[in-house]
Copies of this chain bind each other. A is one copy, B any other.
């Protein structure tokens, strides 16, 4: 054992099938973890006729999805898009997602996800998830109402606004405020009706592998007792990411370790990734994650100016908040202020430290310790173009461009060490679009599938993320895994 790696960051070893004297139970498909990916996988496996079990370590299904606002990224002309007057198409969605998901996204997953988006919307309707035919126009993290459609990514933000016609694609189910738990409740109902067996408070300790290398089951622990459960067609790991596993975060994604607030449930402990690695699955993209400091709403904050410690702007403030935060990290070395005037200042979801409040920009510059003249220039030059509604330097959309002229002026501290930066991981097991887990050799690990944050998904970096991609991608590729496992060759 190397002293270099904390044991909690290491792969967990499988048990040999030959060491299992008797199987306590047998299913065709065993899904590990009941978040949105696990629920979707189980529903599709059951619909395909497979005898299916979901194992969930918490008292009830939910995972990170149940704690989230529940936005799902759909497009290509959904019922809601059409009803609210937005014209989208497969081609337009693909053009946007290709650009917005960035150069490290999996092109095959992106293509499939866009191609089958309408069918995926129908899947959610089929399990009873309702969407209201309304558009919530304000740029928000999510609608506080039961409204549906929002711009949840970078569609309207430069340069993406130039590459495809901007339309909103974030769909929040018809539920006041957060809707993640509602989605999961529908999934629990649907899975139960389909005959899926759900076992809560059951932790999966290891995978079981036979001597041919095929994954053929799991060993669980429930109320202190171990059980060996056979999976004759496949095991699907939908255990979430690893943001709650400090050893893994420090080992694989040290940049994320700086963020104070992990986004996820207790289950996001990397257990599935570690089990997958233990049977030879490749863990990829492990250094990446989403980081975000949600400086809006209020929407007026988007009209503020985000500046570095040098008093310079470095990105259009109307980008997706994850992209803005990535820019603070990469371009401003983790230190930035949001400059607002009296008319723009408002209460954010999270309380921001006020780094300074002054009657003039000159005084604010001084109190922030910004080199003389830099903030004064930034604001003055912004204000001059803003009189015409333009931002020729960073191309913020005209509707967010207004001169900052009403004292007092305030600086909200968005720095990584002063503000609430929330984060989750975007690395995991390498998978085919079918969910089949791949080794570092590019071979399929027989009998093993993964989806959701336990896998490396659609988008692979915070700079290229959009709200709705996690629940959207997790459920979509969870469904593919469920279908593929249900029709896999049965072990004898």
A residues lining the B interface (CB < 8 Å): 1-2, 4-5, 10-11, 13, 103-104, 106, 108, 254, 277-278, 283, 287, 310, 312, 314, 330-331, 371-374, 377, 381, 384, 392-394, 432, 438, 440-444
Q: Count copies of this chain in the complex.
A: 2
- On chain B, the residues within 8 Å of A106 by CB distance are 4
B4 touches A393 (CB 8 A): no
Q: Which of A2, A5, A381 has the most C-beta atoms of chain B within 10 angstroms of its own C-beta?
A: A2
Q: Which of A254, A277, A377 has the most C-beta atoms of chain B within 10 angstroms of its own C-beta?
A: A377
Known contacts A330-B330, A330-B331, A381-B377; A441/B103 CB under 8 A: no
Partner of A372, one of B371, B392, B443: B392
Interchain CA distance A443-B108 in the complex, whole Å: 34
A442 touches B5 (CB 8 A): yes
Known contacts A330-B330, A393-B310; A444/B2 CB under 8 A: yes
Interchain CA distance A29-B371 in the complex, whole Å: 59
Interchain CA distance A89-B133 in the complex, whole Å: 70
Interchain CA distance A451-B1 in the complex, whole Å: 20
A438 touches B312 (CB 8 A): no
B381 touches A393 (CB 8 A): no
A254 touches B392 (CB 8 A): no
B442 touches A4 (CB 8 A): yes
Known contacts A314-B331, A331-B314, A371-B392; A4/B103 CB under 8 A: no
- On chain B, the residues within 8 Å of A384 by CB distance are 373
Interchain CA distance A330-B287 in the complex, whole Å: 16
Q: Which of A106, A314, A384 has the most C-beta atoms of chain B within 10 angstroms of its own C-beta?
A: A314
- On chain B, the residues within 8 Å of A392 by CB distance are 371-372
Interchain CA distance A287-B288 in the complex, whole Å: 11
- On chain B, the residues within 8 Å of A314 by CB distance are 312, 331
Give min CB distance, A356 to chain B, whole Å. Answer: 18
- On chain B, the residues within 8 Å of A103 by CB distance are 254
Give min CB distance, A107 to chain B, whole Å. Answer: 10
Give A312's nearest chain B residue, CB to CB. B312
Interchain CA distance A104-B374 in the complex, whole Å: 32
- On chain B, the residues within 8 Å of A4 by CB distance are 106, 108, 432, 438, 442
B2 touches A438 (CB 8 A): yes
Interchain CA distance A5-B2 in the complex, whole Å: 29
- On chain B, the residues within 8 Å of A5 by CB distance are 442
- On chain B, the residues within 8 Å of A372 by CB distance are 392
- On chain B, the residues within 8 Å of A381 by CB distance are 373-374, 377
B10 touches A441 (CB 8 A): yes
- On chain B, the residues within 8 Å of A330 by CB distance are 330-331
Partner of A1, one of B13, B283, B374, B443: B443
